[in-house]
Amino acid sequence: MTNKITAITISAIATIAFTACGTNKHEEVKTYKMSAAEVFQASCIKCHGANGEGNPEKKTPKISDKTIGELEQDIYDVKNGGSNQSSGTTHTVMEHNMQKLIEKGYDYDTKVMATYMYETFHK
C-alpha cells in the first residue's frame, strides 16, 4: 500500500524576460518614393529650369554655377530650415516651397539630389 502524498508545489517563480525587440538597428536608412531624378523632373525643373538657369518670372535664381558641395549645402538648408545658419543666405521662399513639396511626396536625399542637379546642369 502506498499513501500517495500529493504535494502540490506551487512554484511561483515568475521569470519576466525582457526580450528587447531585437531589431538590431543600424543606421536608419530612409527610403524615398521617388528618385532624385524623378523629383527634379516632376517639380524642381518647373522653377529652376532644366539646366538650373533659373526663371526671372518666378524669381528663381540661377543655380547652375554652384559646385556639388554648394548645392548640397543649399538643398540641406532649404529642406531643414537652416537658412542663415550654415550658408548665410535666406531661402524663406524655397523653404516654404520645400515643405509643400515634401508633403506632396517630393522628398529626396540631399546628397543624391545635389549630385543629380550638378550632373544635369553640366551635361
Packing angle of the helix pair 92-103, 68-80 (nearest 10 deg): 70
The DSSP 8-state label assigned to residue 57 in this structure reads G
Q: Is 99 in the site for ligand HEC (CB under 6 A)?
A: no
State which of residues 34, 38, 41, 47 lies at the interface with ligand HEC (CB under 6 A).
47
- For residue 63, what are the CA distances in angstroms to 43, 44, 75? 15, 12, 11
**Facing residues of 55 across strands?**
60
Q: Is 84 in the site for ligand HEC (CB under 6 A)?
A: no
Q: Smallest gap, in angstroms, from Cβ of residue 44 to ligand HEC?
A: 3
Exposure of 2 in the CB half-sphere (CA atoms within 13 A): 3
Q: Smallest gap, in angstroms, from Cβ of residue 117 to ligand HEC?
A: 7
Q: Smallest gap, in angstroms, from Cβ of residue 29 to ligand HEC?
A: 20
- In angstroms, rounded to a whole number, what is the distance separating the alpha carbons of residues 114 and 3? 86
State which of residues 67, 80, 84, 89 lies at the interface with ligand HEC (CB under 6 A).
89
Q: Is 64 in the site for ligand HEC (CB under 6 A)?
A: no
Residues that bind ligand HEC (CB under 6 A): 39, 43-44, 46-48, 58-61, 63, 74-75, 78, 89, 91-94, 97, 101, 106, 113
